[in-house]
Amino acid sequence: MAALFSPIREFFKKGDLVLLSLCLLASGYGLLLVFSATRYLNSNRPIMVQALAVVLGVAAYMLLTMVDFHLFVEKNWKYILAFNVVFILLLLTPLGEDYNSGNLNWIHIPGFPVDMQPNEIVKLPFILLLSLQITKIQEQERDISSLPSLIQIGGHTIFMLGLIAVVCGDMGMCVVYMVIFAFMAWASGVKLRWFLLVGGGLILTVVILWLFVLPETSLWTDYRIMRFRVVFDHDLDPQGRGFQQTRSILAIGSGQLFGQGYLQGDYTQSDYSHTLPARHTDFIFAVCGEELGLIGCVLLLLILGAVVLRCIWVGRHASSPFDAYVCMGVAAMLLIQITLNVGMCLYILPVMGLTLPFISYGGSSIITLFAAMGMVSSAKARTLPSWLRD
């Protein structure tokens, strides 16, 4: 019996209980919003699945806290890379589903309680592998800003982006991977000139395509391009590609300062699914704005911001560069998803199909997020005492 409870005692001794508490606080907030957003379905299944995912996520958090990821990834990086590729390619089998979203994102296994989203799950081994690459380059005393080093870490990232773009067609997730790479590269010491060169080149390319190339092609009215166009002109297609975001800002605006009241939102509690589309997933921030108002939205963002800052704090106190880069990658993942989701709901960014971390409904998303936090907690468990730090 003592041997059974020994790992649990070890977790409470070394694990990051502050981070776990913040994650549970965010998830609890999310459960309240998911319950409200799914009442019109007259089914308890969504809230039960979400609650089960939180329980499994906490178990994953505790388990992964005990793992030495540097040692594990160093010994098994080939298998981890193979897992990433094979898992995404499974979407091309009969198990792959798109659920009319336009993106092939889900794996449905008959009898399994939740669907899995490979490009969501693969973010974690991607962060681990990229951390190992950067660490190895620095251990060999090679300049991380040199062209060969950038080709090495950039090639890995471009390969993953290409795989996701071709198999899934999920541009939103590609943006997430790009930002993770950029944050980790910046944390590792890549010179500012590379960010200016690559970023400037991308911006120039987009401007040229937007002004001179796309309007002359049939792609100008493609649904992916239209998602961007309606952001700049809200009157362009309000009943089509702009419908979801138009409803979102109407719901948020109707909440004003204190909201219409929990379980009282006109759009949220409507029986019609088109009144506020995807209200329990992509547009759950609109539910918060309508029912809890500006105060509720600010509180939500403060909680999520505290999770991000805690990840960065752990990274700054990590005992090894590898752990520091892992923490920075996880913080970047959270930060970009929060930014894109909230920007989408406020109609200042295009719809990219990204959920709000810890808040939106999604079993695989919740478990993946807690697993990512477990990786950060693992770094915290191996933090050097203050008298040994440089």
Name the range with the highest mean pLDDT among 99-103, 270-274, 347-351: 347-351
pLDDT per residue as tens digits for the range 217-270 = 888 888 888 888 999 888 888 888 888 999 999 999 999 999 999 999 999 998
pLDDT class of 96 with cuts at 50, 70, 90 = confident
Please indicate, yes or no, if residue 390 is contained in any of the structural domains.
no
User: Considering its fold, how many domains does the chain have in total?
Assistant: 1
Q: What is the mean pLDDT of residues 16-20?
A: 95
Q: What is the pLDDT of residue 87?
A: 92
Q: Is pLDDT of 3 > 80?
A: no
What is the distance between the alpha carbons of residues 319 and 87, in angstroms, rounded to a whole number? 32
Its sign, for the CA torsion 162, 166, 167, 173, is: positive
Q: What is the mean pLDDT of residues 339-366?
A: 92
Q: Which residue has the higher pLDDT, 13 or 5?
A: 13
Q: Is pLDDT of 4 > 70?
A: no
Q: Which of 335, 317, 321, 319 is nearest to 372 (CA)?
A: 335
Mean of pLDDT over the chain: 89
Q: What is the mean pLDDT of residues 180-199?
A: 92
Note down the domain range covering 323. Answer: 15-381
What is the distance between the alpha carbons of residues 173 and 208, in angstroms, rounded to a whole number? 24
Please indicate, yes or no, if residue 167 is contained in any of the structural domains.
yes
- Answer for the pair 162, 149: CB distance below 8 angstroms, yes or no: no
pLDDT per residue as tens digits for the range 26-39 = 999 999 999 999 99
Q: What is the mean pLDDT of residues 154-170?
A: 90
Q: Is pLDDT of 123 > 50?
A: yes
Please indicate, yes or no, if residue 291 is contained in any of the structural domains.
yes
Q: What is the pLDDT of residue 58?
A: 95
Please indicate, yes or no, if residue 121 is contained in any of the structural domains.
yes
Q: What is the pLDDT of residue 82?
A: 94
Please indicate, yes or no, if residue 310 is contained in any of the structural domains.
yes
- Answer for the pair 52, 344: CB distance below 8 angstroms, yes or no: no
What is the distance between the alpha carbons of residues 104 and 168, in angstroms, rounded to a whole number? 5
pTM value is 0.92
Q: Provide the token pair at 348.
A: 């200042």
Q: Provide the token pair at 221.
A: 């009215």
Q: Which residue has the higher pLDDT, 221 or 52?
A: 52
Task: Tell me the percentage of the chain whose pLDDT exceeds 90.
Answer: 62
Q: What is the pLDDT of residue 256?
A: 92
Q: Is pLDDT of 64 > 70?
A: yes
Please indicate, yes or no, if residue 386 is contained in any of the structural domains.
no
Please indicate, yes or no, if residue 5 is contained in any of the structural domains.
no
Q: Which residue has the higher pLDDT, 314 or 104?
A: 314
SS3 assignment, position 371: helix
Neighbours of 157 (CB within 10 A): 19
Q: Is pLDDT of 113 > 70?
A: no
Q: What is the pLDDT of residue 234?
A: 87
Least confident of 16-20, 115-119, 378-382: 115-119
Q: Is pLDDT of 384 > 60?
A: no
Q: What is the mean pLDDT of residues 63-89?
A: 93
Q: What is the DSSP string of 254-280?
A: HHTTT-S-TT--TTTT-S-TTTSTTTT
Q: What is the pLDDT of residue 390?
A: 47
**Maximum alpha-carbon separation in the chain:** 72
Please indicate, yes or no, if residue 33 is contained in any of the structural domains.
yes
Left if phi > 0, otherwise alpha if psi is -120 to 50, otherwise beta: which for 163?
Answer: alpha
Q: Is pLDDT of 387 > 50?
A: no
